[in-house]
Structure 1
């Protein structure tokens, strides 16, 4: 394909023509409507009062009488803050496990020479092809035999080291110039010193990506906590919110308010780490 052909095909999205601006902003508006639209609709529903009909064929997007009473109704119906604290414990364990375990495993795959390294790397890649439902029975049996059934640690254990996070850390460590690592070896640096003083300062962005992915995965998980936990006081937030929908009644305003409460920690974490997150997206893309 010639340069002229490439320019001609990309011209509608170029910056120099009005057609390019229209095409670009149309695409962005469509993407925003698909991704942000449902979130805004949930927020709108959670703020609607009992007098507003949410079942009408043409519901209004903006609430006529906005109220925060639905959020109080969530707290009166279920112990939402206790469930949220349980989810924070599980998510914290998963984040800590991935930051430590994925970092060590990723550095080993990227920088250390040992027999079977290629096989181990292939095994990590192969696990990404398996859906979680394939291994959930074996995970449940393992957690039960370890005596961790109906515990928050048992919920967090399978997600404390994710194969995807290991591969992200491996690619990030591989992008560090090898000359720097070899110089440290010549100076007598140990493996842990190389990880601490050479590896970690150069992969802060990827660590933020791993933390966000691990937190979201643990916070939003529903099926696994539902299988492991039996005690009502140990339920996580995603499982506890299912009690907002009763057998004979279900108020979509209260359910929407519960969903917005569950979204707050994810937004707070992303906002606090967004600068490192976008930096980490590019780490490991180009080998230095």
Structure 2
């Protein structure tokens, strides 16, 4: 990363702010605290009904790029014309490369990423470095911008963008890594996997997602109510189906307990149905999404925190 006082850095994110991505929010706030100048480019507008209060502390400007090809046609056209005039060779080379590499059914998506990258380039001003969170779509947009203009970029990888659906074997992922100025992994294990997969010299820096211990201090008293707390997006990999089954076993054994699940997601309906089918409606409460300050109050009361990820 450029030091404080250097050129502004463009942050390429899929969606900002996002309730479940506190690690990105905390990173932005820490970089701002250190004096790093940022400009956030979000590929999507936020959809969460709840947001963390820390979002209001973000000073960096946020630019929302067009989410669909038919959105903001004048903005998209101006970007195309501007780049064709200023970066003609890079523009045509990148567009041809993108179309030739697109599989049937993905052409529209590839064109959208190309148009988003063009808008980003036209609007990034004095930015000389882009940093993409996630090695999938945000990194693809950063790579397109790099191909057109030569602007440097880096990537922070996480988990689903490299481990799900065998992404580590993807030649497209390898190219994004190789062309990046550097790559950040969230663990030494992930860093080793990336180096082994790319099979070329790759500058990878393990940086763990930290917790502000001042915001989550040790509690002074032990909880007295038998409350089990679990937090996460309601998607399969978070393991809530297993947690509900475990609660059914506790109920069948006559154990006195309550369980509260904090979060939202596409499996909310399935989770509710499983709770009914298991007959644990009197024991499990779905709380919905919460900002951190309300979640901290629940953590204070909980006797057990259940991390059921699979």
Indicate the TM-score class for this superposition, using the shorter chain for normalisation: under 0.3
Between structures 1 and 2, the one with greater strand share? 2
**With structure 1 as the length reference, what TM-score do the two structures score?**
0.24
Between structures 1 and 2, the one with greater helix share? 1
